[in-house]
Chain A
Amino acid sequence: AQSVTQLDSQVPVFEEAPVELRCNYSSSVSVYLFWYVQYPNQGLQLLLKYLSGSTLVKGINGFEAEFNKSQTSFHLRKPSVHISDTAEYFCAVSGHNFNKFYFGSGTKLNVKP
């Protein structure tokens, strides 16, 4: 089974500062990678996904992520965060030959004014 590691359980940051949320996965085979956001009392919403091609993926709300195969990482970044970005962010991976998803434990982003 694959595993997804989000090393930072909480990330506090001031508004308009840049942020990086880290994600590493265990698979040695080709995978699809996703970042989801979860606002309080809501389900998960897709931010962005990497399927193939360019390693830099742009998503909604100004977020982007970079796929690094050699480091098996898929870190999420935003150059300037807003208060409204306060939420929990989940990294997920699925394989090319199956549609089962593995989720990380989540990172709570707390944007302070």
Chain B
Amino acid sequence: EAGVAQSPRYKIIEKRQSVAFWCNPISGHATLYWYQQILGQGPKLLIQFQNNGVVDDSQLPKDRFSAERLKGVDSTLKIQPAKLEDSAVYLCASTEGQPSKEQYFGPGTRLTVT
């Protein structure tokens, strides 16, 4: 079974530029999460999708971050414009959608904003 795929693995941009990350969850997984993991901290939920609908985006900085999950499969997270404090690892995870099921994580995208 293929795992959660993310690309790119690394990205370096200058502040005020835009960037997009892509995630392909495990086939059949209804719930998809985007997390931001700043160095030395645990993952912080940015947005949670159930199929192609948003369940929770309360911690997503909507003035600069956006995310979509078209057709309930792949997802894209965008930052525009980026700030220095957006430097972090962006993790995508998916689950089958039931509370007892663990999350499966992708390898993450390490973003450096200079």
Please list the residues of chain A having a beta carbon within 8 angstroms of any beta carbon in chain B.
Answer: 4, 6, 9, 32, 34, 36, 41-46, 49, 51, 90, 94-101, 103-106
Q: Is the CB of A99 within 8 A of B97?
A: yes
Query: A99 touches which one: B98, B104, B105, B106 (CB < 8 A)?
Result: B98
What does the 1/0 interface line of B24-45 toward A look like (CB < 8 Å)? 0000000101000000111111
In the assembled complex, the CB of A93 is this many whole angstroms from the nearest CB of chain B, namely 11
Please list the residues of chain B having a beta carbon within 8 angstroms of any beta carbon in chain A.
Answer: 4, 31, 33, 40-45, 48, 55-56, 91, 93, 95, 97-108, 110
Q: Is the CB of B103 within 8 A of A101?
A: yes
CB-CB under 8 A from A6, the residues of chain B are 42
CB-CB under 8 A from B103, the residues of chain A are 44, 46, 101
Most buried by B among A41, A43, A95: A43
User: What 4 pairs between A and B have smallest CB-CB spacing?
Assistant: A43-B105, A103-B42, A44-B105, A99-B99
Q: How many A-B residue pairs have CB under 8 A?
A: 61
CB-CB under 8 A from B102, the residues of chain A are 34, 46, 49
Q: Is the CB of A100 within 8 A of B106?
A: no
Give CA–CA (A5, B43) in the complex, Å: 13
What are 16 pairs between A and B in contact, CB < 8 Å? A36-B105, A42-B108, A43-B93, A43-B108, A44-B91, A44-B93, A46-B102, A46-B104, A49-B102, A51-B100, A99-B31, A99-B99, A100-B48, A101-B103, A103-B43, A105-B42
Q: Is the CB of A43 within 8 A of B99?
A: no
Give CA–CA (A49, B95) in the complex, Å: 14
CB-CB under 8 A from B43, the residues of chain A are 44, 90, 103
In the assembled complex, the CB of B27 is this many whole angstroms from the nearest CB of chain A, namely 17
Q: Is the CB of A105 within 8 A of B91?
A: no
Q: Is the CB of A98 within 8 A of B91?
A: no
Give CA–CA (A92, B105) in the complex, Å: 13
